[in-house]
Structure 1
Amino acid sequence: MSTAPERPLRADAARNKRLIMDAARELYAEEGIDVTLDDVARRAGVGVGTVYRRFANKEQLIDGVFEQNFADIAAATEASLANPDPWNGLVSFAEFACSRMAVNRGLKDVINGTDEGCEQLACQRSIFEPAIEQMFSRAQAAGTLRLDAVVTDLFGLIFMVGALAEFTRSVSETAWRRYLSLGLDGLRAAGMGRDSLPLPALSIEDLHDAKQFLKDRRR
C-alpha cells in the first residue's frame, strides 16, 4: 500500500523543529544523551508539547541529531579503505572517530550504547561496522597490524580514548592524541617501529585540575 508523501512543515513548525534540533545537538555534545526532552525544550525556548509534536520520544530525536554523525563515520571508513596504505587508513579512521568523540560527549554515549528505538542509527551502524572489519583485515594482510588483534580491540581503544578525552578536556583539548598514539603502537605488528608521541604528557597538576573540574561539574 502506497503512503502519502510527507507534507512540508509550516514556516513556524519548521522553525521550531530547527530550534529543537539545534538545542538537542548542543546539549548532547555538552552533557551526553541523558538530558531529557524537557531540557531540550528549555534550551530551545519552546514548550515541551512542541517537542513532543515533532518527536514522539527521545529516541527519535537522537536519531535525527546523530544521523549525520554516523553518515560521516561511514564516509570516513570508505576513505580509509581507499587509502593505499592499510595502516595509515586504519590510523586515519581512529583519529577521525576520536576527534569527533573528543568534542561530543553525546556521540561517545551513542557509539558506546545500543540502537534500541533508533532506526537510522542502527541502519548506519550496519554499514560502517563491516567496513571497519574490512579495514582491520586489510592491515593484517599487509603485515602492519598484529595478527592476534581483533576488531573489537580497535573499538575498545577508541572508547578508552573517548573517555580520556572527556576527563582531560578541561586542561587540554588535544591530550587524547598522545594516548591514541600509545594505543595504536600496541596494535602495530612487531618490527614496524613507532611514531614519536604527538604531544607532551599531562603533568600531575593537570590531572588534579581535571579531577577537580569533573567533581565540580557533578555537584
Structure 2
Amino acid sequence: MTDVKLRRDAARNRARLLEAGREVFAQQGLDATLNDVAHHAGVGVGTAYRRFANKEDLIDAIRVQQDNELEAILNESLAMDDPWNALVLYLEKSIALHVRDRGMTELLTGRRVRPEMHDRSRNRLAPLVNRVAERARDAGAMRADATGTDLIFIQIACISISTVVQGSPDIEERSDSRDLYRRYLRVMLNGLSPQHGDTAPLRVQALMTEQLHDLLRSETSLPYD
C-alpha cells in the first residue's frame, strides 16, 4: 500500500510540475529555471529533480504535450470538408496557441530544444502540415506555388508580430493591440488565395520541408541554463 501511495504521489507531483512548467515558461520563456517551476508548483526543489533530472527533461515533456495539442488541431483541420477553411482554422488556432505561450514560441523556432526532440516533432507534425497545404492547393483554394513550409513561416511571422507588441508599452487608445497579428494573418491569407491575392509567380522558391527543418534545427545548440 505504501508503494502505491508513493507512486501516486510521484505521478501527482510530476503532473503539477508539468502544469507549473507550462505556466512559468509561457510567462517567462525558457530562461526560467527548474527552481522557479518547483516554487510555482508548490513542491520542493528536490522533488522537482526527482521527477525531472534537469530542465531539459521537463522541456521535452512539455514539448510532447504541445505536440499533442498541435496534432489535434491539424487532425481537426484535416477532418473538415472545405480545404481552405481547414487551412485557415489550422493557422488561426495554432498561432493563437503560440501567442499565449512564450516558451512554446521559442520551441517552434527551434530554439532551446534538443535536436532529437526537434526531429521527433518534425516527423510527427510536418506530414500533417504538408497535407493541409496540399488539400488546399489541389482544390485550387491556395495558389499553386505555395507549400506547407510557407504555412510555418506565416506562423513564425505572426508570432513575431505578437512578440514585438507584447514586449512594448501599451499602445495608446488601443485595447486590441495584443490581437494585432490577426490583421497581418489576414493579409497573408489573402496572399495565399488565388481569389484575393496577386498570383504572379513568387520570385523566391519555398524551402523544402527538410531545408526548413535544418534551418530551425540549427538553433538548437543554444543552452538551457
TM-score, normalised to structure 2's length?
Answer: 0.72
Instruction: Please say if 1:176 is aligned against 2:181.
Output: yes
Query: Deviation at 1:188?
Result: 1.5
The RMSD of aligned alpha carbons is 2.4
Match of 1:116 among 114, 117, 138: 114
Query: Deviation at 1:103?
Result: 0.7
Match of 1:131 among 128, 133, 138: 128
Q: Which runs of 5+ in 2 are unaligned?
A: 172-176, 198-225
Query: Deviation at 1:11?
Result: 4.9
Contact 1:37 1:51 (C-alpha < 8 Å) held by counterparts: yes
Deviates more, 1:169-178 or 1:152-161: 169-178
Q: Percent identity?
A: 38
Could you say which residue in structure 2 is the equivalent of 1:193? 196
Once residues 40 and 79 of structure 2 are traced to their aligned partners in structure 1, the CA distance between those partners, rounded to angstroms, is 41
Compared with structure 1, are the counterparts of its residues 117 and 127 closer, same or farther at alpha carbon in structure 2 (3 Å cutoff)? closer
Once residues 10 and 81 of structure 2 are traced to their aligned partners in structure 1, the CA distance between those partners, rounded to angstroms, is 47
Instruction: Please say if 1:65 is aligned against 2:68.
Output: no
Contact 1:70 1:125 (C-alpha < 8 Å) held by counterparts: no
Once residues 56 and 5 of structure 2 are traced to their aligned partners in structure 1, the CA distance between those partners, rounded to angstroms, is 22
Q: Secondary structure at the match of 1:34?
A: coil
Higher relative contact order (CA 8 A, sep 6+): 2
Contact 2:132 2:148 (C-alpha < 8 Å) held by counterparts: no
Q: Which runs of 5+ in 1 are unaligned?
A: 1-6, 195-219
Alignment of 1:90-105 (within 5 A): 90-105=87-102
Q: Deviations over 1:61-109 (max 9, x none)?
A: 1122232221121111112112111111111100011110111111111
Compared with structure 1, are the counterparts of its residues 146 and 61 closer, same or farther at alpha carbon in structure 2 (3 Å cutoff)? same
Q: Which amino acid aligns with 2:163?
A: E
Q: Which amino acid aligns with 2:191?
A: G
Once residues 154 and 18 of structure 2 are traced to their aligned partners in structure 1, the CA distance between those partners, rounded to angstroms, is 30
Match of 2:35 among 33, 38, 60: 38
Alignment of 1:150-161 (within 5 A): 150-161=147-158
Contact 1:74 1:124 (C-alpha < 8 Å) held by counterparts: no
Once residues 94 and 146 of structure 1 are traced to their aligned partners in structure 2, the CA distance between those partners, rounded to angstroms, is 16
Once residues 186 and 58 of structure 1 are traced to their aligned partners in structure 2, the CA distance between those partners, rounded to angstroms, is 40
Once residues 152 and 5 of structure 2 are traced to their aligned partners in structure 1, the CA distance between those partners, rounded to angstroms, is 40
Compared with structure 1, are the counterparts of its residues 32 and 175 closer, same or farther at alpha carbon in structure 2 (3 Å cutoff)? same
Instruction: Please say if 1:50 is aligned against 2:42.
Output: no
Query: Deviation at 1:147?
Result: 1.6
Could you say which residue in structure 2 is the equivalent of 1:202? none
TM-score, normalised to structure 1's length?
Answer: 0.74
Once residues 16 and 75 of structure 1 are traced to their aligned partners in structure 2, the CA distance between those partners, rounded to angstroms, is 26
Deviates more, 1:79-88 or 1:9-18: 9-18
Instruction: Please say if 1:141 is aligned against 2:138.
Output: yes
Compared with structure 1, are the counterparts of its residues 127 and 116 closer, same or farther at alpha carbon in structure 2 (3 Å cutoff)? same
Q: Which amino acid aligns with 1:35?
A: A
Contact 1:98 1:161 (C-alpha < 8 Å) held by counterparts: yes
